[in-house]
Amino acid sequence: MNESAAATVVGYVAESLATYGRDPRHLLQHLIRIQSRFSFVPDAAVEALAEALGVTRTQVRAAIAFYAFLHARPRGAFEIRFSDNITDRMLGNQRLLRLLASRLRLDGLPGWGHDLIRADGRVSIGLASCTGMCDQGPALLVNGQAVTNLDAGRIDRIADLVEEGVALAHWPGELFRVSSNIRRRGLLLSNAATDGAALRRLLDDGAQAALAEVERSGLRGRGGAGFTTALKWRFCREAPGTERYVVCNADEGEPGTFKDRVLLTDYADLVCEGMTVCAGVIGARRGFIYLRGEYRYLLPHLEAVLSRRRGDGLLGRAILGREGFDFDIEIHLGAGAYICGEESALIESLEGKRGVTRKRPPFPVTSGFDDQPTVVNNVETFLAAARVVQWGGYWLRGEGTDQSAGSKILSVSGDCARPGIYEYPFGTPIHQVLTDCGAESVQAVQISGAAGRTLAPADFDRIIAFEDLPTAGSFMVFGQNRDLLDMVRNFAAFFAHESCGFCTPCRVGGALLRNLVEKVAAGQGSEYDLTEMRHIGAVMRRASYCGLGHTAPNHVLDTLDKVPEIYRRRLASQTHTPSFDLDAALSEARALTGRTDSGATLHETMEAMT
């Protein structure tokens, strides 16, 4: 980089520092801005940030290396990332990826951690984990902005816009249109209206009464784990600390989940209201929405909602005129790291660090953001909590099962006529969801995302509830004509890519599983490999450090149990097959020595093995 370019970088960093401050916990937010300005984080920016924030260069570089959307080397002026969830693949994203690459004169295909970058620096193409547009895929991100419903026509237009160098702000708006696709409304979705009613109830009846309503409702966390919300709030309220924090987990990274995107689009007021109610109950003055980088396009909308609420006296100092009730919400962006959906990794990321999970206990309720008591709840949980405080605990209890009060919002995608958002009372059987979304001849349902469980038709009478099938909301449908091994390959690659690398069982186990799945898919696997997959999966479940590693082998273990034929029909005949092509491993030596004698091949040996 020449001196003037470095000066530009330093100038931009200074501007970012002046606007957003020098709190080292804002490191990630500065990096995201620098990345989007320069298509990478130049060394000069690393130096300037390290100096200004009082962190080491290594910390800055570690963050850049950790987050998939940050780069130490330039990407294209147009940085394009194809969403590569299995649902995108089922909708034909591979064909469109090849089409765009050839239109832009790029050779080959991108892989995980390997982007195609055009020599003139105009454009680069890479992959992204599920971008949460499964009901309107295939999708991609261009400079962080989501483009949906890709087809050959749209790919052509994108290629033209890139070649003509049209600034993103001048691209046709219809490319960026995102639909909510709400197909079934229940308790929460049937009414988006809010006028601060929950906050008034809180102020009229007091925090104890509000907490009692949440307790009465039996509300449990909607992020998947299902911890009792009232208990979480109470623990946080009672934990010793100098400050308390409310964090909304909008890092909706689980493949196949997109309901939080819709909630933040159409119900953002209620989500903020839920956060503010929580703040009133636990005594917090600051809150954060941790918004996944893929949903960056929602930022202006969310900022507008926050600003309107400030104007209406629903956020900020002395909320609704009550002296001493001060609370405000900041939005922090993620940068493409699935692990940051785990609450302790999310907090690390909020603090500007790599999103590596913390050891628990202590749990965030006693030692969260800045080591202070912190409530981290899912978007949907805050939405439900706002209504519970407004309408009372019994309102939620009116639907659901013994241990699962209320409703669950599902993101339905895959092989069905009407993908989108469906809200059901807990206790709804799988087959009803399938009927409603127009799914016929279903081979399998993957519930709760890549980390969730694979359901075969024998499971379709089971119900969505914490007692039976807990789910964070992802519901991917696979028709009879699909090869489920494609799903397994996609998820195995996803987990190998998304492991944070901190613990060996997950980092190494994930890579081994991916390699074994690929070996089987290539027709080179054996029974021995299937046994190895079970063995590695069991170790990952038992020995991984956090939930990512615990759940990463689910899809392999479930499909080995329920649909073993997807593996078996591809096995080579032997009970054990080498992990590499024995004869091909000799080709380099054959070329170096020029040997053609019988001792220079392993063909016969390999034939004798079969």
Partner 1 sequence: MAARIRVATASLCGCFGCHMSLLDIDERFLDLVERVDLDRTPLTDIKTFGDCDLALVEGGVANVENVEVLLEIRRRCKILVAFGACAVNGGIPAMRNQVSLGECLRESYMNGIGLERPGIPNDPEIPLLLDRVHPIHEVVAVDHVLPGCPPSADAIWTFLSALLDGRPIDYAYTQIHYD
Positions touching partner 1 (CB under 8 A) are 528, 575-576, 578-580, 582, 585-590, 592-595, 597, 599-600, 602, 605, 609
Helix (H, G, I), strand (E, B) or coil at 104: coil
Closer residue to partner 1 in complex, CB, 292/519: 519
> Are 416 and 435 within 8 A, CB to CB?
no
Q: Are strands 420-425 and 407-414 parallel, antiparallel or unpaired?
A: antiparallel
Phi, psi of 12 (to 5 degrees): -65, -40
> Are 200 and 325 within 8 A, CB to CB?
no
To the nearest whole angstrom, how small is the minimum distance from the Cβ of residue 564 to partner 1?
Answer: 20
To the nearest whole angstrom, how small is the minimum distance from the Cβ of residue 535 to partner 1?
Answer: 12
Cis peptide bond upstream of 74, omega within 30 = no
Closer residue to partner 1 in complex, CB, 57/603: 603
Closer residue to partner 1 in complex, CB, 439/517: 517
To the nearest whole angstrom, how small is the minimum distance from the Cβ of residue 585 to partner 1?
Answer: 4
How many CA atoms lie within 13 Å of 423's alpha carbon, on the beta-carbon side?
20
Place of tokens 């993103």: 168
CA–CA dist 168, 275 (Å, integer): 33
Closer residue to partner 1 in complex, CB, 242/598: 598
Closer residue to partner 1 in complex, CB, 92/578: 578
Per-residue CA distances from 274 to 48, 247, 338, 342, 465 (Å): 39, 11, 24, 20, 23
> Are 94 and 62 within 8 A, CB to CB?
no
Closer residue to partner 1 in complex, CB, 37/590: 590
DSSP secondary structure string, 330-361? EEEE--S-GGGGSHHHHHHHHTTS--PPPPSS
Closer residue to partner 1 in complex, CB, 438/578: 578
Closer residue to partner 1 in complex, CB, 169/592: 592
Residue type, 309: R
Phi, psi of 378 (to 5 degrees): -70, 155
CA–CA dist 306, 292 (Å, integer): 18
Closer residue to partner 1 in complex, CB, 185/576: 576
Closer residue to partner 1 in complex, CB, 361/594: 594
Place of tokens 């930022």: 299
To the nearest whole angstrom, how small is the minimum distance from the Cβ of residue 600 to partner 1?
Answer: 5
Helix (H, G, I), strand (E, B) or coil at 68: coil
Angle at 40 between CA 65 and CA 139, to 5 degrees: 85
To the nearest whole angstrom, how small is the minimum distance from the Cβ of residue 594 to partner 1?
Answer: 6
**Residue 117 forms beta bridges with which residues?**
124
To the nearest whole angstrom, how small is the minimum distance from the Cβ of residue 588 to partner 1?
Answer: 4
Closest CA to 301 of 275, 265, 332: 265
Closest CA to 531 of 507, 508, 503, 556: 556
To the nearest whole angstrom, how small is the minimum distance from the Cβ of residue 47 to partner 1?
Answer: 32
Closer residue to partner 1 in complex, CB, 192/586: 586
Sheet of 374-378, strands arranged across: 328-333, 286-291, 245-250, 374-378
To the nearest whole angstrom, how small is the minimum distance from the Cβ of residue 509 to partner 1?
Answer: 16
To the nearest whole angstrom, how small is the minimum distance from the Cβ of residue 72 to partner 1?
Answer: 24
To the nearest whole angstrom, how small is the minimum distance from the Cβ of residue 549 to partner 1?
Answer: 22
To the nearest whole angstrom, how small is the minimum distance from the Cβ of residue 589 to partner 1?
Answer: 5
CA–CA dist 177, 490 (Å, integer): 27
